[in-house]
Amino acid sequence: MNHPTMTRDDVVLESCESLHDGFFQMMHYLLRHRLFEGGWSPNLSREIMLRDPVAGVIPYDPIRDEVVLLEQFRGGMFAAGDKHPWSIEIVAGIIEKGESAEEMARRETLEECGCTVGRLEKVMEFYPSPGGCSELVTVFCGEVSSEGASGVHGVAEEGEDIRVFSISVDKAMAQIQSGAINNSIGVIGIQWLALNRDELRQRWT
């Protein structure tokens, strides 16, 4: 039995209160849920960070076999004490209200790296940290031309300062292994590309 059997109906939310409401929202939940062996857990006290859903895009050029990557400052890495708080990533951004994940994927790829997306395929959905955060990421692979993908992009009013460059998929994989690419969206996207690019190149070229 590999598939989860319990559902939302097997959880009772006793109370919830807001602990902080700013750019992010921190909540306190008091809840109980059904146990595998039957019966219910006691009321559990849990803190949860509420975050809006995110779309990520692997900008892939199937002809040059290159991926377009971005580098930008990340507050979480700085707070962790990282010596190099700039992160090498694929495209990602928060899905705005009334916008589909696909629309957002195309818009964000243009904004962050100046690339127009041709074909766009959904790769997967995942929670980066489902123990304490509601953030859900939908990852797409988008067909782009990496020719001329370079320079500095981003919305200055939002404090974005993004350096764009393109490298071969093999080099990107080597950067995962060396730890130079070390964020969940980027690692998942590039590992997926390494495992699926032969099939993708057949279909897209």
Residues 83-142 touching other proteins, rule: CB under 8 A, are 83-87, 124-136
20/148 with CB nearer other proteins: 20
Question: Per rule CB under 8 A, is residue 23 in the interface with other proteins?
Answer: yes
Residues 156-185 that bind other proteins (CB under 8 A): 159, 161, 163, 176-177, 179, 182-184
CB-count exposure of residue 134 (10 Å: 0-12, 13-18, 19+): middle
Residues 32-91 that bind other proteins (CB under 8 A): 33, 35-37, 41-42, 44, 46-51, 53, 71, 73-80, 82-87
Helix (H) or strand (E) holding 113: helix 101-113
* 196: Cβ contacts below 8 Å, ≥ 6 apart: 141
Query: Which residues on neighbouring strands pair with residue 153, listed in sequence order?
Result: 162
53/114 with CB nearer other proteins: 53
Verify whether residue 160 is a known catalytic residue. no
Query: What six digits make up the tokens of 129?
Result: 């940290």
Q: Which residues are catalytic?
A: 158
